[in-house]
Chain A
Amino acid sequence: GQQLNQSPQSMFIQEGEDVSMNCTSSSIFNTWLWYKQDPGEGPVLLIALYKAGELTSNGRLTAQFGITRKDSFLNISASIPSDVGIYFCAGLNYGGSQGNLIFGKGTKLSVKP
């Protein structure tokens, strides 16, 4: 099935570091969503973006909806151990009869050994 290009695939963080990940698509989207998923759990919504160029924050998280509507990024500032997990971007189009999410493959955040 169709998927978004999400990078990096994985990264190691040290407490206090800033983290950045992004998502690109060959198609435009009307909505970009960022989710975090812990092992064995469902994805939890972090940030929703509804307008091209929109920059939205949720605590230490900041995400932007790209101007071209084909990309989005997520930044985490001053990371803490509980930030470990898998982060997914998802694109959504509304304007027709269906609105299914298209997901990236995820960015896995782990703690530096």
Chain B
Amino acid sequence: DAGVTQSPTHLIKTRGQQVTLRCSPISGHKSVSWYQQVLGQGPQFIFQYYEKEERGRGNFPDRFSARQFPNYSSELNVNALLLGDSALYLCASSPRLAGGSPDTQYFGPGTRLTVL
């Protein structure tokens, strides 16, 4: 079975531009989460979606937005890019929302975003 897939693998943008990152979860998984990982740090939580609804949001500005589609794939959008947005953006999928029973998140390979 395919794991979590993300596209593109690498992206270079300039300050002020907008970017869209894409994620397809493991087949049968309904929950998708997005994380930002800057060099030398652990991943930081951005969003969680379940059944197309936002179920959690981390401490990120409104320039960050996301959505989940009926097939459970997801997009992360970042507007008005800043140099500090340069990072590895990770998508994780889980079978169900971690809201009442044990759950485990599986990560994709990430999208490396560089903002110049």
A interface residue numbers (CB < 8 A to B) = 1, 3-4, 6, 30-31, 33, 35, 40-45, 48, 50, 88, 90, 92-106
Contact assessment for B55 and A98 in the assembled complex, using a CB-CB cutoff below 8 Å: yes
- Chain B nearest CB from A76 CB (Å) reads 19
> Interface 1/0s, chain B 28-49, versus A by CB < 8 A?
0001010100001111110010
How far apart are the CA atoms of A24 and B57 in the complex, in Å?
A: 24
A6 to chain B, nearest CB (A): 8
Give the dominant DSSP class at A's interface: loop
CB pair A104 B42 closer than 8 Å = yes
Question: How would residues 101 to 115 of chain B score, 1 for a CB under 8 Å from any chain A CB and 0 otherwise?
Answer: 111111111101000
Chain B residues positioned under 8 Å from A1 (CB to CB): 44-45, 58-59
Chain B residues closer than 8 Å to A6, beta-carbon distance: 42
Q: Is the interface of B mostly helix, strand, loop or mixed?
A: loop
Size class of the B contact interface (CB-based, 8 Å):
35 or more
Q: Is the CB of B107 within 8 A of A105?
A: no
Minimum CB–CB distance for B100 against chain A, Å: 6
B80-106, CB under 8 A of A: which get 1 and which 0? Answer: 000000001010101001111111111
- Could you say which of B92, B100, B104 contacts A48, with CB atoms under 8 Å apart? B104
Chain A residues with CB under 8 Å of B31's CB are 99
- On whether the beta carbons of A42 and B90 are closer than 8 Å, the reply is yes
Cα A104 to Cα B42 in complex, Å, equals 6
Please judge, given known A-B contacts A30-B102, A42-B107, whether A105 and B41 are in contact too, CB under 8 Å: yes
Do A95 and B99 have beta carbons less than 8 Å apart?
yes
* 6 A-B contact pairs sorted by A residue (CB < 8 Å): A1-B45, A42-B110, A43-B107, A96-B99, A97-B56, A99-B97
Chain B 4-24, CB-CB to A under 8 Å as 1, else 0, gives 101000000000000000000
Chain A residues contacting B33 (CB-CB under 8 Å) are 100-101
Say whether B42 contacts A97, CB under 8 Å: no
Distance to closest chain B CB from A33 (angstroms): 7
Decide if A101 touches B59 in the complex (CB within 8 Å).
no
